[in-house]
Amino acid sequence: MPALAARGLRAGYGRGADIVRGVDLDQAPESIVTVIGPNGSGKSSFVKTLAGLLPARAGSVSVTGRDVTAEPPARRVAAGLAYVPQEANVFPSLTIGENLKLATEFLRGRAGVGAEQRTRVLELFPELGARLRTRAGDLSGGQRQMLAFASALLAAPEVLLLDEPSAGLSPKFVGETMEAIVRVRQTGVTVLLVEQNVAAALRIADEAVVLVAGQVSLRAPAKDVSPADLGDLFFAKVA
């Protein structure tokens, strides 16, 4: 059974045209799939639709076999689907400790959420545990990204959706972020990674999905995809 599945997913904003145009996805458990594509190809809209922030106009989303298409974002988290947005992914007026607390407070009853998971997550991101009283708004971009990962992981998700985690980070932090994603996968979490930094994403992913104009134009093992070959694909016209 796929950890994450989408069938004929279509979505858009307001009364505008569809941005996501019939995307299918089957992601194996504990894999990293990267969704890449040119600007405006619908990558972020796709991942927002999976998270429930953008309503699906058609199609379905399921997590470990459970259909969550009609569920609001909060219930999708309880179903095992965590999401880290591209920007504004922590609560700046809350401290690190409060951000972490909030991540589980409304998920009581979900298996795996609790003190053990908190210990495991703080082991993954040890710098957070030492600064629990620091306001999240005072953190650097890289530190915020770690806090955002940690907050999402505290929900003990089956699937973690990451929207451009390297955006705006220095090359040093991009490397650290990618390493953190690999560590997260090693804990048994399935990761869907939307990335603009194609080379970095392909290095850690098992599979690549190329999205152009809201449609899947290529799906292949990441090791078989060369960033140099993607130019033609990115700018190809999709019917």
Partner 1 sequence: MAAQLFLNGLVTGLLLALPALALTLIFGVLKFANFAVGAMLTFGAYAAWVANVQLGLPLFASALVAAAATALAGVVADHFAFERLRERGSITLMVASMGVSLVIENVCRFFFGNASRGFDIPPSRPIRWEGLRINHEQITTAVTVVLCLIAVDLLLRFSPLGRAMRAVADNASLAAVRGVDRRVIARLTWALSGALLGLAGVLAGLDRAIDPLIGWNYQIPIFAAAILGGLGSPLGAVAGAIVIGVAEEMSALVIPTNYRQVVSFTVILALLLFRANGLFGAKAARK
Question: Residue 165 interacts with partner 1 (CB under 8 A)?
Answer: no
Helices (H), strands (E): how many in the chain? 9, 10
- The window from 68-76, 178-186, 207-215, 229-237 that contacts partner 1 (CB under 8 A) reads 68-76
Question: Residue 72 interacts with partner 1 (CB under 8 A)?
Answer: yes
Closer of 37 and 52 to partner 1 (Cβ): 52
Contact between residue 13 and residue 54 where contact means Cβ atoms under 8 Å apart: yes
**Given candidates 10, 18, 24, 107, which one binds partner 1 under the rule CB under 8 A?**
107
Question: Residue 9 interacts with partner 1 (CB under 8 A)?
Answer: no
**Given candidates 33, 51, 204, 212, which one binds partner 1 under the rule CB under 8 A?**
51
Smallest separation (angstroms) from partner 1 to the CB of 162: 12
For the packed helices 141-153 and 171-186, what is the interaxial angle rounded to 10 degrees? Answer: 10
For the packed helices 141-153 and 96-105, what is the interaxial angle rounded to 10 degrees? Answer: 30
Smallest separation (angstroms) from partner 1 to the CB of 54: 10
- The window from 22-30, 34-42, 56-64, 80-88 that contacts partner 1 (CB under 8 A) reads 80-88
Question: Residue 92 interacts with partner 1 (CB under 8 A)?
Answer: yes
Instruction: Return the H-helix or E-strand segment holding 193.
Output: strand 190-194
Question: Residue 83 interacts with partner 1 (CB under 8 A)?
Answer: yes
Q: Is the dihedral of CA 129, 133, 139, 145 positive or negative?
A: positive
For residue 215, give the DSSP letter: E
Note the maximum CA span of the chain: 53
What SS3 class is residue 14?
Answer: coil
**Given candidates 117, 151, 166, 177, which one binds partner 1 under the rule CB under 8 A?**
151
**Given candidates 12, 37, 42, 52, which one binds partner 1 under the rule CB under 8 A?**
52
Structure tokens at 142: 């890289």
Locate tokens 């059974």: which residue? 1
> Residues interacting with partner 1, by CB under 8 A?
51-53, 72-74, 76-78, 82-83, 85, 88-94, 98, 101-107, 137, 151, 155
